[in-house]
Each structure stands twice: as C-alpha cells, then as structure tokens.
Structure 1
C-alpha cells in the first residue's frame, strides 16, 4: 500500500477527544441539532442503540457532575460547540450544567433505546419555540448521516460519502506484515499525529498518577511499587501509567486524549503501555514513536474488522497492538511481533464490555499487563499454537476469528449485559 494511504488511515482514526466518546457523540448530535433550531428549547429527545446507552450510562463527563443519556443530550444542546467535533464539550461552565439540569428537572429531556440493528446509533431531536431539528449519528462517533430541519433534510452524508468508503477499502488491504514494514521505513517526521498521541495521552496518564480519580488503579499500583509490594518492572510501569490515564478520563478529567478508532480508552491503552516500556528501556524517541505507530496501526487494523462497539471490550484490541510494539522495542522479529498478537488474542479475547465507567481502568491495567507478558513469551519464541482454541497459524486468520466472535458471536451477550445493567 502507498505510504500516503497509511498516513491517511492514521489521520482518520487518530482523533483528539475530550471525554468518553459515547456521551460526547450524544452531545455532538444535540449541539448540531440546536445549531439548526433557533429559539428557546422546549424539548430534547434522544434515542440511542444499546451499546451507546451502555457506555453513556455511568461514565463521567469532563468537568461535570451529571451523567447519563439525558444529561449528555441536555448539556450538548445547551452549551456544546458543534464545530469542535469530539471536543464538543470544551469550556463547559457550572452555569451550563445548571441550565442542563433545569431542562431535565422540567421534564424537557427524554431518553430511550432506539429500535435499530446498528451498534452505534444516536438520534437527537431538539424542539424549540420556533423550529424542530433532528440529527442522526451512526457507525462512527462523529459520523453525522442526517440533519433535518422542520421535517426537511438539509444534509445527508457520513458513511455514504465516497471518500469514507475509499478509506474503508484501504483498511481491508492492511496486514500485520505490511504495517510492520511500513513502520520500519517511514520517515519519523511524518508521524506527527503519533507524536501528538504520545504527548497528549502521557499528560493525562501523569494526571491520573498525581490526582485522585475514580478507583485510582494506576496510582495504587505505583504506591505499591514504592512500598515494595510490587516490583518496579516493565509490566507494572505499563499498567500504572495506562490505568492512570483511564482513571482520569473515566472520572471526567477535562484533559483531552488522542482516541484510536473512536475510543479514548483505546487510545490510552495503545500508547501508554508502549511509552512506559520505552522509557523504562531508555530507547530513543524515534524508536518510541515508531513503536507507538505500530501499536496504533495494528489496533486500527483489528478494529476495522471488529467494529466500533461490541459486547467485548475494545481495549483487548489495543493490548494486541501494544504487545506487538513492545516486541519491537525489545528488538524482536516480525515473526515474534505476530506471535505476541496471537498470544494476546488467546488471553483476553473473552473480556466483556459492561459499559464505560471507573472500572475500565482495571481492564486497561489487565490488558497492559497481558501485552507485556505476551511480548516476553513471543521473544522467547513461545506462541499459542493453532491446535489451541480459535488461534490459527496465520495471525490474520486469528484476527478474523477474534473479530467474528466480537461481531457475530456475542449479540445475545450484548442484550443480556444491557438488560442486567438497566435492571439495577
């Protein structure tokens, strides 16, 4: 594949996001609808797919105390900047939150599950005293497919656009072999977005280590290293920094992150374990950037088949990318890179997603630990064999099997997870 096509894939899939992408996407739809409906808000109606509800139900929103679908839609309609994409909630104030809560208290915000087969679907209707606007986002967190004003469509787009389809075609052509060779040869100066992902995500990782966020998973690991209860090694370094980033993000930190494939937690889990290992090994900055690029691209490759949302935790795919990158940092071969991915698939492929929340930091920690473990096994020429589970001799076939499990094999699991969450 041409060099520029892989760079275009990075440009599409590495996006700066403020806050968890599911409530942010709801806010983006609401802000866009309000932009096209002048006047005073009379009602906000939000309908979302089960996977969106699952991830928007309990997670923190940057700088706010409110949570949930209704609050995400209300704050987006009241104060969101629709021109800022996934940074739509930048600059919120306490007054904005009060106005959003007032709308909810007055019964002007209604939220429900949409009847749709899509796993990523958001529909928001904003009714004012003058106009009515309806916005639909589907398949991708910032992919607006319809804007309708007073019943008349004024925009249809998104995934139907030929440019989007051509990039999807480029995803289909990617392989681990090609990604590895590209990462070795690309000019590091062209990996500006990868460098930015390191810088942004490291800031929120350090914030999680120094602050008090969520379950303090990363901070607790670091404190136990200082006490001598845990060893100061590659695995704990990867776990603590990555989990701390997730701690801060899930608890509503106002720091942005570089998302990977539509998920900020995936962006954190793709970058920070690799950064922690690179710093521990004291490798050059260029080598660290190439390693993180490898991690990003392998995760993008897997997620392009796996889909944006699933009953399985997306951070597992990030762990697969990170394991490959850690092998690269330790001067492993392409074959060992593939073995690390295979080992990770065989280890964490069954981890379910029960929504975005503080506990996600524990899953980030687990997958970071597995990434290091899988890499070290691979470097010792140990890999899960094709006689075991659904692992194949060919890493691409193992990836396909994992993605089939996530897409086709867990639809009933998805329904049960949401049912159990909503019954509480």
Structure 2
C-alpha cells in the first residue's frame, strides 16, 4: 500500500474514536481524571481554565450519567469516577449512586471554571491541589491529546505538538491529499483494513435507535418520521413529503431567478428570495391541506409581517442570510394556518432561529436555492415542533426567554457581530483563496 494510503488509514483510525457524551465536557472530564491520577492527595481545590470555544460547547449540553448540563458536573464526575485510560469514554459507566457524590463536590465550591481568551479552539488546563501536593494537566489541539502534565511544579510530560506520539498529524496528512486522492484511497484500500468504519456506523445507528425510542431532547428525529403520517391524536396532515414539496417550490423559484430568468417576483425586505421564501411554502402546505383562501391569505400576511419584523432589527444586507428569517416567517404563517396562536408562533420563532441562524450570506447566486430549501425545512420543522409542544428552551445558545428578545439578539448578531464575517466573505469572494496568506484583506484595486 502506498505511503499516503497508510497515513490516511492511520488518520482514520485516530479520528474515528468513541466518545461518551459531548466531546468538550468529555475532554474536561478526561483532564480532571488525569489530574486525580497524579495528585496523590486529598482534593482541596480544582481549578479549570478553558478556551471560549470549549466553554461555549460545554455550557448547556447534557452530561452522561446525570440529568444535568454543563462543565461543572462533568468535571466532578470525571475527577471522582473517570478512568483516564478510557480517554473520551471517561464518562461511561457512571452509575446513579455516583451522582450525589459529584453533586456534593460541585456544591462544595472546590471547583472553579474560568475562560482564557488568549486561546482559540480547544484548550483545557486543570490544576488539582491538595494539602501537600498539586498536579497540572493540559489538553490542547485535540480532545484526547494531553500536552502537559506536572506534579508539584515539576514537569513529567510535555508534548505541545498537535498529535499523539507515533501517530500522524492530521493537518500534515491532509496537506498531502486532494479529493481525487481521497477517491483513489477509497478505491484501493483493502476492504478488511477499513471494516472498522462500517462498525463505527453501526455504533452510531444504535445511538439513533435509542433516540427514536426514547424522549431525548426535542425528538427531532422522531418528529421527522412521525410527521410523515401526521401527529398521533391530531387532525393535522402536514407530512414530510409536504415539507419537502414546500421547500422544493420555493427553491425552484430561486433556481429560475438566480439563473437569469426574467420572471417577476414579489419581494420582502428588499429581497426577491425572501419574498419567495415567505410565500411559496405557505401556499404549498395550504394546497396539500385543502385550506380555504381566506385562512391562507391571513397566514401569508402573518408570514410576510413576521419576516419584515425580524429584518427590522438588522441590516437589509449583511453576512446573515435573510432567507432564515423569511423561512421563520413561513413557519409562523403555517403554524397560524394550522391553528397555532401566539405561544406556538413564538416557539416557532425561537426554534427556527435557534436552528440555523448561523447561515451566512455570500452573495446572490444559483446556489441560494439550496439555502432556501434548508431554511424552509428548518422553519417548517420548527412549526411542527411547536404544534407538538416542543421547542428550543430559553438559555440554549442564542435563544432568549421570549421570541422578541431572540429576534433582537439575532439582529445584533447580524448587524454588529457579523461585520468582520462580512469582510472575510467579501475577501474570499474577491480573492478566491485566502489560505496562502496571513494578510486577509483585498487590495484597494481589487475592490474597484
């Protein structure tokens, strides 16, 4: 086998590892478990410093072995019961009997968690202190990559390189390949050498089956299946095929106008794509359900007004893709048409905006149709969830306590927070490739 194939295979084996729970809390738990291993003393204080990205990703996520969320309980469970040899499975096998002890440690105030803004990406430092000894552990670059261990100030292990000893650096390997080379690898590698990849998929399938069988989170997967036959105990006939059709009609209109067709469209917020997105999904669902013209007209009014209202708080043109808010409006209009009122419509807004609010606008072009299709499906799924009493709850990410605050927050994000994003998008569009230079900024000539 060629050397590059061997490297790719080794990289796959390294990357396709098992993790129990979200990997950021698991990495914190791993660092804590490792610190306990080297402390050799009764714990008096556990000081944790993480990058903003680790903190963000671990802040509201559920932790295995508990009904709680966040890094504090993950740290406590990892320190008290984690096996550092299991790496990202460190939180596996946590019993119900273990949880009270972890909760007691959290409540004791011994654990502190701070953010170090000097670090981007993945960075975790844990300092465990006892009456006589101390230990320090750093995980950096990758979730299971311990880069530093010290006891009582003396360094016993240090490896600052991105990658574990004896294993290929993923970035260096990927620098050597291309899409064509990856296809060649898939063509040439002996099937027995990559059997583990299929096994990994089977592991993930079991997780999906459990998600379907039990009431986890918002039940999005189960909801997507259930809406194909309508809700249990409900008179609605909104189906998955109906949602697909709704997104298809909206996307088709964009296909035409973004590719040069001269057909007129009615705009919303200064955008034809947003006008399409706010109207055609509602019409499509109405046709499927046989709705009367009056209720459809009212629903369309709701949709357009909700779209306009959201855009009021942000610039008409920004790095924030406007079809997200337009599709949220369509979700609101559909919820209204199907009997939903303020609670359901507010939940539709929060859930839709909490879903794909990060979609960027990188200029008008034929591929906008793909963004419209995704946004419409997101908006209508939010509608379905709201009618089932499901929603993204306040405090999850950027979702606020009420829809109006969420909309305002999105406006600030689009207007102020994404200014630099807009600049970079423009630079990429103008220059094509910014990866070869650290000076990300087009020349004045390129802007003419």
Question: Same fold by TM (over 0.5)?
Answer: yes
Q: What residue in structure 2 maps to residue 88 of structure 1?
A: 90
Separation in structure 1 between the aligned mates of residue 52 and residue 208 of structure 2, nearest angstrom: 30
Contact 2:65/2:91 (CA < 8 Å) preserved in 1? no
Q: How many residues align?
A: 270
SS of residue in 1 equivalent to 2:104: helix
Corresponding residue for residue 171 of structure 2? 168
Q: Secondary structure at the match of 2:18?
A: strand
SS of 1:95 mapped into structure 2: coil
Q: List aligned pairs for 1:314-353, cutoff 5 A.
A: none
- The alignment's C-alpha RMSD in Å is 4.0
Contact in 1 for aligned 2:48/2:124 (Cα 8 Å) = yes
Name which of 40, 50, 53 aligns with 1:48.
Answer: 50
Deviation at residue 73 of structure 1 after TM alignment: 1.5
Cα shift at 1:40: 1.9
Distance, in Å, in 1 between the alignment partners of 2:183 and 2:26 is 33
Which residue number corresponds to residue 230 of structure 1?
239
Q: Single out whichever of 181-190 and 46-55 deviates more from structure 2.
A: 181-190
Determine the C-alpha separation between the residues in 2 that align with 1:235 and 1:8: 40
1:93 is displaced (CA, Å) by 1.7
Q: Which of 185, 188, 191 is the aligned partner of 2:188?
A: 185
Query: Which whole-Å CA distance do the structure 1 matches of 2:368 and 2:184 have between them?
Result: 19
| 1:27–1:75 Cα contact (<8 Å) kept | yes
1:37 aligns with 2:2: no
Question: Secondary structure of the equivalent of 1:191?
Answer: helix
1:131 counterpart residue number: 133
Aligned ranges 1:391-410 → 2 under 5 Å:
none
Q: Is the CA contact 1:44–1:126 (under 8 Å) kept in the aligned structure 2? A: yes
Q: Residue 149 of structure 2 corresponds to which residue in structure 1?
A: 147
Work out whether residues 46 and 70 of structure 1, in 8 Å CA contact, stay in contact via their aligned partners in 2. Answer: no
Q: How do 1:56-71 residues align onto structure 2 when only pairs under 5 Å count?
A: 56-71=58-73
Residues 2-401 of structure 1 correspond to what in structure 2 (within 5 A)?
2-157=4-159, 159=161, 163-164=166-167, 166-227=169-230, 229-231=238-240
Give the CA deviation at 1:233: 10
Shift in Å, 1:24: 0.4
1:243-288 Cα offsets, whole Å, 9 max, x none, are xxxxxxxxxxxxxxxxxxxxxxxxxxxxxxxxxxxxxxxxxxxxxx
Q: With CA pairs under 8 Å and 6+ residues apart, which has the higher RCO, 1 or 2? A: 1
Q: How far does residue 101 in structure 1 lie from its aligned partner after superposition?
A: 1.3
Cα offset, 1:171, TM superposition: 1.4
Q: What's 1:241 paired with?
A: none
TM-superposition CA deviations, 1:350-386 (whole Å, max 9, x none):
x9xxxxx9979xxxxxxxxxxxxxxxxxxxxxxxxxx
- Any idea what the Cα deviations from partners look like across 1:207-235, whole Å, max 9, x if unmatched? 11111000111111111012253246998
Offset of residue 63 of structure 1: 2.3
Contact 2:29-2:76 within 8 A present in 1 as well? yes
The structural deviation recorded for 1:51 is 0.4
Segments of 5+ residues of structure 1 without an aligned counterpart are: 237-312, 318-340, 352-356, 361-387, 410-424
How far apart are residue 343 of structure 1 and its match? 9.4
Between the aligned partners of 1:183 and 1:33, the Cα distance in structure 2 is 41
**Whole-angstrom CA distance in 1 between matches of 2:107 and 2:152:** 26
Q: Shift in Å at residue 34 of structure 1?
A: 0.3
Higher CA-based Rg: 2
CA positional deviation for 1:157: 1.6
Q: Which structure carries more helix by proportion?
A: 1
Query: Cα–Cα, structure 1 residues 26 and 343, in superposed 2: closer, same or farther, change >3 Å?
Result: farther
In 2, Cα distance between equivalents of 1:358 and 1:197: 33
CA–CA separation in structure 2 for the residues paired with 1:391 and 1:358: 33
> Does the C-alpha gap of structure 1 residues 157 and 344 become closer, same or farther in structure 2, counting only changes over 3 Å?
farther
State TM-score, norm by structure 1: 0.55
